[in-house]
Amino acid sequence: MLFNSFLESVVKIKHLSLSGETSHAKMSPPYRLELAEKMKEKAKTAKKAGVMALFYPNNEGETYLVLILRKTYKGVHSAQVGFPGGRYEDEDKDLMITAMRETREEIGVPEAMMTIIKTMSPLYIPPSNFIVHPYIGVSESTPNFVKQDEEVEAIIEVKLLDFLDEVNSINARVPTSFDVEVDVPAFKLNGHIVWGATAMMLGEIKDLLKQVL
């Protein structure tokens, strides 16, 4: 889809209601509810994070979404695909600022290039005890991505039409932070399996976009 057409249509999502848990549930790992229940007390003091679903035109004017592959490290989200974004810092005015600042730090897109279109439903992530606040943003010009080598293994540019294509909504067997493999709903994007919290947030974004595109 050409970005000009996308831009004309995507502004309509400002007036749409969020589907929240209904969309999240479709892409939720099977063990998530049980884990969230166990973490109920801890969740009251969960850390906060802001992440960005940034849409932009490539050099040919086609609409793309940027994701990142995280570095391999000793942590629950090691080597997973996610959105650019990260932890709320005291100097951040709000979580939207967090998402924009972290996007600049991780993939080199300056805040001035980003326009926030919609605040999405927050999502609690039990393994890391974070509440993540996602935002849909657009950059009207093609970004010059620069990855933060310390945290980002690769920048993944996903064509909008591939993201929306039902053939890329799959079930996959993945390793978890509990050293067991489970079958989960997922997206297959650019050869990467995207599951867990990122897939749940993408699911809500997809459900929203399909109402206007």
Between residues 77 and 24, which one has the greater pLDDT? 24
Exposure of 66 in the CB half-sphere (CA atoms within 13 A): 29
Confidence (pLDDT) at 122: 96
pLDDT of residue 74: 56
- Residue 178's pLDDT is 61
Query: How confident is the model over 76-112, as pLDDT tens digits?
Result: 545 789 999 999 999 999 999 999 999 999 999 999 9
Average pLDDT over residues 131-145: 98
* More confidently predicted of 9 and 178: 9
pTM over 0.85: yes
Q: What percent of the chain has pLDDT over 90?
A: 80
Q: Please check whether residue 65 is in contact with residue 155, taking contact to mean a CB–CB distance below 8 angstroms.
A: no
CA separation for the pair 160, 54 (Å, rounded): 11
Q: Return the pLDDT at 40.
A: 75
Question: Residue 182: pLDDT above 90?
Answer: no
**Mean pLDDT computed over 156-166:** 98
- Look at residue 181 in the predicted model and tell me its pLDDT: 84
When pLDDT is cut at 50, 70 and 90, the band that residue 55 belongs to is very high
DSSP annotation string for 181-198: EEEEEEEEETTEEE-HHH
pLDDT at 39: 74
Query: Has residue 175 got a pLDDT over 90?
Result: no
Helix residue ranges per DSSP H, the chain: 3-10, 21-26, 32-38, 40-43, 95-107, 160-164, 196-209
- pLDDT: which is higher, 141 or 182: 141
> How far apart are the C-alpha atoms of 135 and 116, rounded to whole Å?
7
Nearest to 188 by CA among 205, 163, 156, 209: 163
Least confident of 40-49, 134-143, 180-189: 40-49
Average of pLDDT values for 126-146? 95
Beta-bridged to residue 187, according to DSSP, are: 169, 194
What is the fold of 3-36+43-209?
Answer: Nucleoside Triphosphate Pyrophosphohydrolase (3.90.79)
> Mean pLDDT in the chain?
92
State residue 180's pLDDT score. Answer: 77
What secondary structure letter does DSSP report for 47? E
Q: Are 109 and 139 in contact (CB under 8 A)?
A: yes
pLDDT of residue 35: 74
Question: In angstroms, rounded to a whole number, what is the distance separating the alpha carbons of residues 70 and 72?
Answer: 7
pLDDT of the residue at 139: 98
The encoded tokens of residue 120 equal 């999405």
